[in-house]
Every structure is written in structure tokens, then in C-alpha cells.
Amino acid sequence: MSELRGVVQGMDCANCVAKVRKNLENAPGVEDVKLNLVSTKLIVEYNSEHTSEKDIIKIIKKAGYGFDDSYEQQSFFNLKHNKNLIFFLIGVVFLVPTLIIASLDLLDTHPLYYIPVLVVVAVGGIPVYTKALNSLRAKTFDIDILMVIAIIGAMIIEQWEEAAEIIVLFTLAELLEAFSMDKARQSIRSLMDLTPPTATRLIKGKKHEIVPLEDLVVGDRVSVKPGGKIPIDGKIDWGNSNVDQSPITGESTPIVKAVGDQVFSGSINLDGYIIIRVTRMPQESTVARIRQLIEEAEQEKSKRELFIQKFAKYYTPVMVSIALVVFLVPGVFFNIPIDLEILRYWLYQSLVVLVISCPCALVLSTPITVVTAITRASKRGVLIKGGKFLEAISDVDTVVMDKTGTLSTGKLRAYKVEALEGYSEQEIIEIAYGLEYHSEHKIAQAVIDLGEKNNARLLGYKDVKILPGMGIQGTRKGVNYYLGNETLVDKILTLESCDLDCEESESIVSYVLTDEKVIAHIHMSDELRLETKMSIEALREMGVANIVMLTGDNEEVASKIALELGIDYRAELLPEDKMLYVKEAKANGQSIAMIGDGINDAPALAISDVGISMGVAGTAIAIETSDIVLASDDLFSLPYLFKLSKETKRTIRMNIFLSLFIKLSFFVLVFLSVSFVPIGIFFGDSLLWLAVLIGDLGASLLVILNAMTVGRKKYSTIDKSPKN
């Protein structure tokens, strides 16, 4: 199986995609076609025994579009690649004298006065005629064919200036669509501008070399000067600095990064010289993944978008039939013998119906809004994998959340030491600090942090051993010291001699002991994220009825956190238990959003209506399984996501209403004509050009401008300031 990759040039609407895909899928030897309207990327899998790259490219060009395998996107205003803009400008230049001549009633007095209008029709209309011809070849009946019929009809009834106006206004509407799609593509292309094309790689100590980004491999060390962009995902190997992550995660304030901390490609190193060790290949970097997610998101249509596309497919033929009825019934069947003047009048009204039936604004109403919302969300660190997931969020009434790594930081904090058997608290901290200094376990890190906080001495131990599943052991001055869980205590001591009674049960406890007795309890807890409580409150204010925590932790720990947050919970759950809970909730009619970060959350993420994963703390499988990724692990992104979804849904509804209302208004005018109410009372005798200006161009412009407002609002109701 062979593969052809590249970009299709000249596409500006869903109809263009359908035309190219249909032609390619019908070609012999073509197995699969993937074509994206926003990125214009094309991937064709084909059998080289039955077809070739040249044949496939020929099919694309025959449909009226260009092909380039370089992936280089051209600017909308590049006249070399956008010849339609040239034809439009020629049409505008010659339309002005046409309108002046028509207003002076000179068209009938001198044949030379027809020259400007003929230039508009012959040259300005080339983009329309070309597309219509390609549609006929592809056996597709679309708006371009309708417009050609309308232009020919206008000339038949000698409405020359209106024929010219239709051409210029319709070409302007098409260019407007192309420009709006170009803006969407620019927003995706701008993501790649976040990373520099080269990086400074360190070799053999202090030597540096400038290399292309694609030459970097995992393990390479890259230096970044103050003020420079971080080119690749990695961990800081040397140095520290304030890093501006706002281009990637949307965080408004710089983050202090030191050795061991993770940094993202596209972030800006503000004030320190740092050396980064590469942890991801360039094509797997944060910026690359964001771009890929946005490009793939356009393929995942929302229910409303799919409905509109199906509706538009049948809408156009139906409107053509209505236009024929408007012409034939009053003009022909009710006018026998035929009066040419009346026939001419009803042909004009049918052309108005034909022009106003253009579904461009209707078809544009959803994809432009969705693409705008998804792109804006990505700049806030929320990566949405498709329009259907963005839409689904607004219908969610139950949010199910994992605890560790989602509601909490996943990092343990030792907050209390119970010293026993005559030991002081500082002595216990130093014993534990010296032991755990040799371990990289999560509990060890909590003990090390506690020791550093209390300026503990680093005691030396002999024969340090990690005891898998139990703890750690070491010898100091002839005494064996241990630090671990109850299993370790049971192994070292008899039940009668050990003290396991703790002042608190709602915490993780590590025991410090010798060969004879337990000498201390160290209490630890998994800290809640700072924003957790406020984010949950914000979700409640937005109408989310049920918020439930699902955790594998014990009942005591889970109940304490749930009580603090004021949410429901289920404790001591296995991964299949989480999935079963989501399945049962869906069976009861609830719409579920699941938020998690680990491998154990993946089954529940997959089965939920919307799966949301944490981007930093999240495992690869959780991120892959989820529908939405919170790139910065910021739970404040949840209320933002819900508000953006509701705003997007409102905007789509408004756009559909506006486009249909404008068209309905013109149909009412035609109906008034059918009822023998003179149109001249309202707009004069020229309704055809007005139908193009308002019904097509005006409606498209209104829909696009409205779509572009989505996500611009700063949701100030989400207050990140700490509350007392």
C-alpha cells in the first residue's frame, strides 16, 4: 500500500472537501482518503498497481484545486496563488461604470455601453464558471451551478447590471469564506511559530552546535539563553529561571523552574541560562501535539454540524424545485396564452429564490464557530479533540473526578510526627531523613522535604536496603532502623510489642521502628490542589448537578476529602469499578464527564460521554484515551471549558437563526409578489442583487463575525485569588 501526503489548495468550504473526497474515493486503486478543511492536509492510501501519484494529483486538479506536497501554506493575499482575488478586483473596477451607465439609462442607447458589463460577466465571473464546470464534472449540484443559472437568467431577461452585481457580490462572498478559513489556518500555523526552527545542542562538555529541531533526539542536552524560546520538551539539567508558559498553558504568571523541573516547547525562558535534557522527540513535543489535536479536531464533527451538512445536501435541490414552481405555476400554467412580460416577471422572482437559497451562511454557521472555539481554548491550555466533545460538555450534568493527581497534586506532604519511646520529634525526623535520602519513592520524597524544612542533619547509615512493598532499612551505630508500612511492622515485630495506635486514621502513616519497638508515626497526606475547591464551587454555580470523586484510597481518606469539598464519593475502587460506576450512571440517563490522570482511569475515560485528562500529571494512555486534555493540569480550566462550550452552543444557534431568518425574509418578499403585492413598494424593482448582497454575502459576513467572537470573553467570574 502506497501513500500520498500534501495539501489541497483552493478549498474554502465543506462543499469543496466533499467534492475532492468524492472524486478521489471513486478513483480506481484508492483505498482511503483523509482530507481536513482547516489544515487542507490530504492523506491518500492507494494501490500503486492500479493508480499512481500523478493520477491522483490529476484528479485533484481536474476538480478545480491545486496540490502541493511541501505543506507550505500560502497567504490569502498572495495573488500568485489566489487568482480569484485578481478576477474579483477586475470585476469591481468594471462594475462601477456599469452601475453608473445603468443609473443613467444608457445601456439601451449605445452598444459601447455594454463593454463594462460584458467584462464583468466574462472576466469577473471566471471563478464562478470554473467551479460550476468542475461541479458538473464531479456530478455535484451546488451553489456555483445555481449562481451560473441565475447569471444566465438575469441576462436572458436583460437585467445586465444585476447579472454583473451577482457575479461581484457572490465572488466577494466566496472570498470572504476563503479568508475566514485562512484565518483559522493561520491560528494553527502560528502554533509552529512558537518554537524556533533550530536549537543549540551541547556536545562533549562545553561545545555548542546549532542544529535543526528535527535532528534532536531524546537524551540530547540543549542550552537556552535568557529571553530565548524553549525549542523542545525536556527537564532542566542545569540552572534555574522564570519561565513564561502562557503560550502553551495559558498561565498568566511566570513559573520558577529549577533542576529536574519539566519545561514545554514554546515556553519563553525569561531571565536565567538553563540547560535542558530532551525528553520527547520534536514530533512528539507539546506544540506538535497541540497542532495535531487541533487539526484532527476538525474531523470530529459535532452532532449539530453533521445535521447542518446533511440538511444542506437536501436543502439546495429542494430550493431549486421551489424556484421552478415559482416560475412555472404563475408564469406558465396560470398565464395561457403566455404573456412574455408576465413570464419575464416570474422568471425574475424564481431567480431571486434561486439566489437566496444559497446555503453558504448556514453551512458556515457551525464549523467556523467550532474551529474558533477550539483554537482559542488551546491558547488557554485546553486541548479539545473535536467539535462533538466541545458540544457534549454543555450537556454534562455529572462530573466524575479521580482523586490522586486530579483533585490532589499527587505529591505527599508529611504534616505530623508522633514521637514515642522517649525520642524527640527532631531526632525522629533526622533518623527518617537519613534513611529515606537513599530512596526515590513518593513517601521518601515527603520525608526528605520534611527533613530539609526542619534543617535536619543528614545521618549516615550502613547496609541500606530497600524492602520492596514494605519500606527501607539501615544500620547506624549498631542499631537497625526501619521506616515503612504495617506489613513491615508485622514482619519485624510481634503484635504485642508494637504500637500502631495513631491519633488520626484519615492519613497515610509510615512507621519508624527498631528491632524491638515502634518509635514514631509519621503522618502524610496527599495535598489538594490550591484551585480544587474554587473550581468545584464554580462548576456548581454553572449548573453541574452532581460532582463525584472516585478513588482507590481507603474510606477514611476519601470521606475526609469529600467532606472538605462538599462532594459525593466512592472509595477503594479498582479501575473496573470506576468504569462500572460511569456505565451505570449513563444507563440512568446521566451525561458524564470523567476527569483523571492515570492508567487506572483510562477505562472510565473511554466509556464516559466526555473524557478529560490532566496533561502534565497524566499518563500517555490517559491522554490518548481522553477527548479533552488540560495541558497545564489547572482545574480552573474546567469552569472555563464549560462556559466556552455553552457560549459556542449559543453562538451556533444564533448563527443558524440569523442565516435562516434572512433567507425567510426574502421568501416572504417573493410570497408577497405571488400575492400580487408590488415589490417596488419595498425595494424598487431590483431584488436580485439585493438577495445576493444581503441573503448571501451579508448573511455569511454576519455569521463569520459572530463566530469570531467566541472565546474572546475573559471569564472574570472564575476568581483565582485565595479565599479565607
- Fill in the amino acid letter for 116: P
Active site residue 402: yes
Angstrom distance (rounded) from CA 687 to CA 312:
24
Q: Tell me the three cell numbers of residue 637.
A: 480550566
Among candidates 113, 117, 1, which has minimal Cα distance to 49? 1
Q: In which element (H, E) is residue 6 found?
A: strand 2-9
Q: What are residue 465's DSSP bridge partners?
A: 473
Angstrom distance (rounded) from CA 441 to CA 470:
11
Q: Tell me the three cell numbers of residue 677.
A: 403585492
Angstrom distance (rounded) from CA 367 to CA 15:
12
- Fill in the amino acid letter for 439: S
| Contact yes or no for 335/343 (Cβ under 8 A) | yes
Angstrom distance (rounded) from CA 596 to CA 127:
51
Q: Spell out the residues 6+ positions from residue 335 whose beta carbon is closer than 8 angstroms to its own.
A: 342, 343, 346
The label of the residue with cell 475547591 reads 533
Angstrom distance (rounded) from CA 421 to CA 424:
9
Helix %, strand %, coil % of the chain (to 5): 50, 20, 30
Out of 402, 526, 597, 609, the active site residue is 402
Q: Give exposure, 650-669, as e/b (b: 16+ Cβ within 10 Å).
A: ebbebbbebbeebbeebbeb
Q: Tell me the three cell numbers of residue 317.
A: 435541490
Among candidates 192, 169, 172, 168, which has minimal Cα distance to 180? 172
Catalytic positions, please? Answer: 402
